[in-house]
Every structure is written in C-alpha cells, then in structure tokens.
Structure 1
C-alpha cells in the first residue's frame, strides 16, 4: 500500500478538520437546538430578488458573458458597487482597488500565501477566527498574541519572531463584532494598531465580514478608513480590508472581496489566475443586481431579526447561567462568547450537552492558536428564534450549573 503521508508536503500536517464544519452536521438533527454554526438564517435570504436577477440574466444578451470565462479581478459593475459602498464608511478607493474572491475565506488563503513564508509570524487576537487559522496554517507560520492595549513593544514582537526563525508579516483581526467573541475594537485600540504596524512595518489584515451587522451603539471607522485619513489615500496604506456578501445576501454564491493598494491587488490577481482563474461570473452579476436594487433594505431586515435574537440570548444568559460564568455583550454580529470557571472543558461539556440536553455550541479552544482556554464557548444566535434560544440556554445553564456543583 502506498504510504501517502510520506509524499504529502510538510504543510499538510498542519491541516485540521474544522470543528465548526463538523458541528454543522448537527443542524440536520431535528431534536438539536444549535447555537453552533455562525451562519445566516436561510429564511432571511432575498430569494425572490435572486430569482429575478437570474431570470433577467438568462433573458438578456448578457447571458453569454455570464456563462463565459471572465477577468480575474472580478465583474467590474460589482467592483464599482463595492467601491461606492465602502466609501460610505470612509474607504475612498476606485474599482481597481477592489478584487473579487470566492468568499472571504479565499481572501484569507490568498493573503496567507502572499505574506507568509515558513516560520514567519502572524499576529492574531486571542481568540481569533478559526477559519483564518485554518487558512494561514497551510503556509507554516508561527503565531503570536496581538495585544491591542499597547502593553507590548515592537521589539518584543520582533524578538519573539526572530527566535522562531522568521519575521512578523502581518496583524490579522476582525474589528467589528468579531468571530468568535462578538467584541468590537475601540477607536483608541485601532489607532494603536496602526502605530504598531508602522513600527513593525507590517500589513494589517482587517476582516470585515460583519461590518453591516451593527444593532446598536456608535459606529467606529474601519481601520482602513483611519489609515487612509492618516496617509492621504489608499495607495499609501498598509491595511488590507476584506469583506463578504455571505452574511448579508447569500453565502452559497461564494462572493467576497478585498480592498487594498494596487501592489497588493496585482499580486492577488496573479494568484487568482493560477488558482481558479476567476470567481463565478454569473454569481457576481446576480450579486450586483440584488445589491444595486435593495441592499440597504435587506440589511435593515436582517438587523431587525438578529438584534431581537441577540437580546433574547443575553436575557436568557442573565436568567439561567450560574453567576460564575461570564459572557460578552455584542453590539452586532452573530456571536456571544461565554467564559466558564477555570478547569471546565468546553469539548467535554459539548459531548454531555448533545447526549443529555440536545444543545450544540462550539468549544472555545479551537479559536486559540495555542489551543488554550478550554473553558470557553462560542454561541451563535443567528439561526434560532427567541423561543428556541430561551429553551436552549435554559438547558445549557442547567447542565453547566450541575457540572460546577459536581466539581465543587
């Protein structure tokens, strides 16, 4: 028998199955109340608008080009729409600064490939988005904890990277309603990050997948907008902004984007040409149709629903969780992050929860680059109604309280 492990590239040893992808299989079990998948509610998809968009495409002279190969940069009218949309939040750019990807996950993969050589260091928040770690892992980096409170010097980051045989290449973070914690980085911390990146001469990868999902509180300018304001234009910035239509319109169409200075865009285009040539043309055209005709109304609709579910989850946590547990109170997004008493293990709790209470969530240690903090959980409220949320948190609170008593 052929020993495949002997001929796989060394990077393959760092590939791991996504715990979240595996947990999504539980959504097919009708007796499970799931807070696991950070996915949008399909009942809120603008399906009628997409039906009209595809119908228009197939009934027009555009159908030939929609089904044909296309440019690697992406469908120009869609890039023009994105440039106008991000301008509303202070990111002044041209369509040439916009690059279309097959979902924002592909953007993370390309950016990891672009910046990371083996043993280079990526600065990430603790915890951070699991999908980013999965994307970067293929390029064999080391990880260091990104501190946003200014208590680490640039020299400390450089020294740590040098000891592991590489250099610091970028800082990755989600500034608004992050996955997994739901937290938002304040203005002062964004400014400190820009100063740190200047000192280290590194890129900032700003993951803005949840940018449009603010339910309350005051909006804070994106890091890229602050960078542009500092430097007088996008071509002088070190921030790379990535976004997606997955959380607002439809994840199944796999349309994401990157906004960056032209030297970065040109390299990404070359990667696209070598990988999959271009993202689905017809899906890009359909996204542009739907976004142009009703994006703001769609965002308003999902905000109204998700904000109520967020409120329901926070109220249920207040009502049913033991006092020794703590949790975040997000102003937007799809997640609440729960911290349990030290010594508890989220993975063990999940196994008991599935078996006895029929409630699913994501154990938190998967979101830490070093696999620490096992006493944490990620809870998503996007796909459960208020009644399900109340019942699910009631069951989970009962289980956690029991586990705490047993350990006492």
Structure 2
C-alpha cells in the first residue's frame, strides 16, 4: 500500500479545507437560514442576458474562435472593457495592463507563486480573507499583521522578516467592504499603506471584488489610482489590483482579472501559460457582451436589493443581540462582522445554533492567520430576504443570550 504522506511536498501540510466551502453544504437544507456563504443571490443573475450572449456567439461567425484555445492574457474584447472600467476608477491603463484569470482566486494564487519564497513575509489584515490565506499558504510564507490605522515603522517589519529568513514581499488587503469585516479604508489609511510599501520596497495587492457594491457614502479612490497619481503612470506603480465579475454579474463563469504594470502582467502570463493555458474563451466573450450592455444597470439593481438586506440585518442585530455583542456597520459589500463577549467560542456556538435554531454563520477564527478570534463570527446578508434575516437574527440572538448566561 502506498504511503502517500511520505510523497507529498512539504507545503501540502499547510493546506486546510475551507470552513466556508463546507458550510455551503447547509444551503441544501431548506429549513436552515444561512448567513454563512459569501455568495451572490442567484435570483439576481442576468440569466437572460447571458443566454442571449451565448446564442449570439455560438450562432454566429465567431463560434469557432470562441470554442478554440485563446491567448493567455485573455480575450482582447474583454480586456478592453476591463481597461475602460479601470479608467472609470481613475486608473489610466490599457489591455496590456490586464490579465484575465479564472476568478480572482486564481489571481491570488498566481501572485503568491510569483512573489513568495519559503519564509518570505506577507503583510495581511487581521482578520483577512480566508481564500487569500489559503492561496498564499502553498508558498510557505509567514504572515505579519498589517494595520492600516497605525503608523508602524517599516524597520520593524523588515527586521522580523529578516530574522525569519526572508523579506517582506507584499501587503495584501481588501480596502472596500472587506471580507470578512465589511470595513472600508479611508483615504489616509490607503496613503499610509502605499507609504509603508514604498519604505519596504514591496508590492501592494489590492483585492477589490466588492468595490462596485457601495450602498452609502462617497467612494474612496482605489489604491492603484492613488499609486498612479503619485508615481505618474501605471508602469511605475507597485500595486496589483485584483477585480472580479463574481459579485457583480456571475460567479459561475469564473472570471476575474489583475490590473498592474505590464512588466508584472507579462510574468503572470507566463504562470498562466504553465497552469491552464487560458481562461475559457467562450465565457470571456459572453462576459464581454453582457458587461458592455448591462453592467451598470445590473449593478444598480443588485445594490438596491443588497442595501435593503444590509439595513434589515443591522436593524435586527440592534433589536435582538444581547448586551456585550458588537458588530460592524458596512457601507457596502456582503458582510457584517460580529464580536461576541469574551469567553464565547463561535465554533461551539455554530454547532448549537444549527442544531437548536437552524441558523448558520461562519466562525471568525478561520480568518485569523494565528487562529485567534475565537469569539468572532461573520454574517452574510446577500442570500437571505428581509423576512429570513429578521427571523434568523432573532433566533441567533436568543442562542447567544443563552450561551452568555450559561457562561456567567
């Protein structure tokens, strides 16, 4: 019998199952109110638009091209749309600054592969997106806390990275409505991150899948836009912007992108060529057509629905959560971050909540590189209507209140 463990690479020991992906199985249980999956509501997908786009492609002269291999950079039509979208965000770029990926998750994996050697340091928010930790983990880095609100000396980061046997390679953050906290960095915090990265001579990875889902307040310029302004042009920047169609139009087509200096894009293209050659051309061509015709109107429709659900969840939390429980008040995105009273373990609470109240959420420990945050949890409001949000938060509040009382 083969002893597989002796054959695996060292990095395999760092791979862990995603708690979130496992919790998505609860969605198949109709009596469970799930605030767990950070996924868009399928009822909002522009299905008819995609149906027409695929019919147009497959019934026309471009069918053979769409069913063939494509260039690794991505469909020129789609990259031109993305470049125009980025210019609308204040980032002057062209198709040569865009790589189309199989979702932004693939982009994070490629970035980890390109920049991280074993024992290098990645600066990340605490807590941070679980998928990013999983993507970077395969390349055996160490994680160090990135606090956008603090003026942390660069020399401190450098010294710790050097002592570990590597150097700081990038700062990773989600500046708009972050997963899992829902928080947004203000302009000063963004400039502070760019300044720190400049002192460290490291890259900045701006993960922005929720950027278009703002429900209130004024937009804050992307880090890459600020970087372009300071450095003079995108070719002089240190920021890689990771975008996605998953939260705006459809996650099922698995389409994301990286926007960065062309020298970095060319390196990422080499990784793409060695990985999966190219993202499916048919999907890219369909997405280009739908984005060209429907992006703005569809996003506006989606925002109206999600805003109502966010408001309902914030009102329900205010009404039903026991004293000592705190939560964020996001201006957009899909998530609210909850901090329970000290001594309450959210993982244990989840088991009780699902069994006794049929309500699911994501325990917060998985979002912390050091396994801290046991008393935190993430709630998503994107896939539950207003009635289910009120009922689910009411049930969850009772479970938390009983848990707090029994812990006293």
TM interval, shorter chain, is: over 0.9
Match of 1:369 in 2: 369
Q: Deviations over 1:273-314 (max 9, x none)?
A: 000000010000000010001110000010000000000000
- Does the 8 Å contact 2:31/2:358 carry over to 1? yes
C-alpha deviation, 1:48, in angstroms: 0.3
TM-score (norm 1): 0.99
Match of 1:125 in 2: 125
Match of 2:258 in 1: 258
Q: Deviations over 1:220-273 (max 9, x none)?
A: 000000000011100000000000000011101000000000111000100010
- Does the 8 Å contact 2:206/2:242 carry over to 1? yes
Structure 1 residue runs of 5 or longer lacking an equivalent are none
Match of 1:162 in 2: 162
C-alpha deviation, 1:376, in angstroms: 0.2
**In structure 2, distance between residues paired with 1:364 and 1:339:** 9
Residues 1:90 and 2:90 aligned together: yes
Matches within 5 A, 1:50-65: 50-65=50-65
Runs of 4+ in 1 over 3 A off after TM superposition: none
CA RMSD in angstroms, aligned pairs only: 0.5
Residues 1:176 and 2:180 aligned together: no
Match of 2:73 in 1: 73
Determine helix, strand or coil for the equivalent of 2:336.
strand
Determine helix, strand or coil for the equivalent of 1:218.
coil
**In structure 2, distance between residues paired with 1:347 and 1:78:** 42
C-alpha deviation, 1:29, in angstroms: 0.3
Match of 1:358 in 2: 358
Match of 2:304 in 1: 304
Determine helix, strand or coil for the equivalent of 2:269.
helix
Determine helix, strand or coil for the equivalent of 1:312.
helix
**In structure 2, distance between residues paired with 1:233 and 1:159:** 31
- Does the 8 Å contact 2:151/2:192 carry over to 1? no
C-alpha deviation, 1:151, in angstroms: 3.4
**In structure 2, distance between residues paired with 1:150 and 1:126:** 13
Residues 1:190 and 2:185 aligned together: no
Equivalenced residue count is: 408
**In structure 2, distance between residues paired with 1:99 and 1:335:** 28
Match of 1:398 in 2: 398
Matches within 5 A, 1:231-242: 231-242=231-242
C-alpha deviation, 1:361, in angstroms: 0.2
**In structure 2, distance between residues paired with 1:151 and 1:110:** 30
Structure 2 residue runs of 5 or longer lacking an equivalent are none
Match of 2:113 in 1: 113
Match of 2:25 in 1: 25
TM-score (norm 2): 0.99
